[in-house]
Chains A and B, each alone.
Chain A
Amino acid sequence: MKKILNTPEGYVNDMLAGIYAAHADMVRPVGDNLRCYQTAHKTPGKVAIITGGGSGHLPLFLGYVGKGILDGCAVGGVFQSPSAEEIYEITKAVDNGAGVLYLFGNYSGDILNFEMAGELADMDGIKTCILVGNDDVASAAKGSESVRRGVAGIFFMYKCAGAKADEMASLEDVKALAEKVGSRVRTMGFALSPCIIPEVGHPNFTVGEDQISIGMGIHGEPGIRVAPMLTAQEIAKEALDAILLDMPFGPSEQAAVLINGLGSTPLDELYILYNEVAKILKQRGIDVFKVWVGEFATSMEMAGASVSVLRLDDEIKALLSKPAHTPFYSNPQLED
């Protein structure tokens, strides 16, 4: 293992200390627990949104905490859930009196801890509700959406829910909107190499030399199949075939697209992939409203990419177009 760190045990807290040092104007810890991460920007009366999950996925999850998007994030160890107490501490810190939406990926440890935190918050009279992202089309068959994993597509839920909360919508409305976005986003991932958890020191799963793992999750969960390496054109076709079969577009419906790098895949390759995605969408008569290309949900130094497609409606388009600003992500005001 060759990583820039001091000790494997200090990996997460040292990373967090660096983020606070660099961006003290935008984010801060709750009290002295670095793993309780909150925005420096509070809006009285606004629904607060908290996410959380394991470390090792930057900019997921904490990278979406800032202005116009999320309010707090509970940070777990690498690929581990944060604790209920940490989530609860953040809940108390970011609640603006309008309730708190817990929005995170569909993983059992995270669900248990967010549920427990919600019960603690309830005893303080803070209203919370839970919504999970489950966009990974490769992780379970159609009809079993509720057990699908949450991956990069949760970005769209964050962005739209954050913009909706900024309009001072109620907790119920913010949740309903995020749920709608979640039901209209699908992601398919492709892994080319494994990653190393610092405290483990070696990869705990493998992707063969000259092979591609189609549908692998962002913790190395097995995907649909392992194949000999594909071309960018074949990857794009594989992704869109799966996504559009699972979520067909109606006539004249537009898409937003997210091409996400998993950690060590160059931007060059992500744009090569997008070029092929764009061609296929054009052939299928789907107009692309807006594209994001870059790293949004990584898996340490894993190589590979994921393709997410969001099926738009007018409300989602308007919310996607609203400005947002965090240390890791900026969205200028778009004309919609």
Chain B
Amino acid sequence: MTQLDKHDLNRILRHISAIMVENRELLCKLDAEMGDGDLGLTMSKAFPAAEKEAVESDETDLGKLMARCGMKMNSAAPSTMGTLMSSGFVYAGKALAGKTVVDLEDFAKFYRLFADGIANRGKAARGERTVLDALYPAADAAEQALSEGADIAGIASAALAAAEYGLEATKDMLPRYGKAAPFIASAKGKIDQGAFVGKLFAQGIASALTDPRKD
């Protein structure tokens, strides 16, 4: 597989949504330890809203469609994390505007675009115990895999593995942002709940693209 079309985008969003919904309780639990405990609710609202938009829209420009999915996500879940994730789609969508298929290089680049959109909106960087600590390692790995000649499934798998590794590394990071910031003392040894969302995101993409069942 070396390119993605609208059908693939729908499938990716469906897989991410399903994974967010499956992990709703776990996300709420992780968030309650370090914040206000509604992360599972917002993520399980946000991604299905994007999926619904993608399925119902007849937009063929994948960049525009991605940006619209982002806006719908934001409307469904305008919390901080919902808005940050939607910013990733809006930013990546703008960069990919005009494309009706996403080729191998665009796909490898998507992870970094998505992370940059979040970093710009949230004014955060790597190493600050956020979703970016799963997404940027995924972006590095995706680009590395591309340069080594991987196909789309290979890129997605490499990105997921790196996101998992990045998630583990948040256990040693101190929170600086959002509602987790007051919990510095209790952060040590725990994964960051935002980075966990980033890992689930990469997992959704990988599961959509490595699943041999074509739907």
Measured CB to CB, the residues of A under 8 A from B are: 76, 80-86, 108-109, 112-113, 115-116, 204, 222
Contact = CB atoms under 8 A, between A and B. Distances in A.
Given A82-B78, A85-B74, A85-B75, A112 B178 contact: no
A112 B84 contact: yes
A112 B71 contact: no
Nearest to A199: B41
A76 B80 CA distance: 13
Contacts of B182: 222
Nearest to A117: B74
Contacts of A109: 78-80, 83
Contacts of A108: 80, 178
18 contacts: A80-B79, A81-B78, A82-B78, A83-B75, A83-B78, A85-B75, A108-B80, A109-B80, A112-B84, A112-B121, A113-B78, A115-B121, A116-B74, A116-B87, A116-B90, A116-B121, A204-B36, A222-B182
A112 B79 CA distance: 9
Given A84-B83, A109-B83, A76 B121 contact: no
Interface in B64-89: 71, 74-75, 78-80, 83-84, 87
Contact of B74 (A80, A113, A204): A113
Given A84-B71, A109-B80, 5 more contacts: A82-B78, A83-B74, A112-B87, A116-B74, A204-B37
Q: Which of A76, A82, A108, A115 has the most CB of B within 10 A?
A: A108
Nearest to A219: B36
A30 to B, nearest CB: 14
B107 to A, nearest CB: 25
B154 interface: no
A250 to B, nearest CB: 35
B122 interface: yes
Contacts of B122: 112
A204 B36 CA distance: 9
A112 B75 contact: no
Nearest to B90: A116
Contacts of A82: 78
Interface string B41-81: 00000000000000000000000000000010011001110
B9 to A, nearest CB: 21
A82 B77 CA distance: 9
B71 to A, nearest CB: 6
Nearest to B182: A222
Contacts of B87: 112, 116
B214 to A, nearest CB: 34
B189 to A, nearest CB: 23
Contacts of B80: 81, 108-109, 112
Contacts of B121: 112, 115-116
Interchain residue pairs A-B with the least CB separation, the first 4: A83-B78, A112-B83, A83-B75, A109-B80
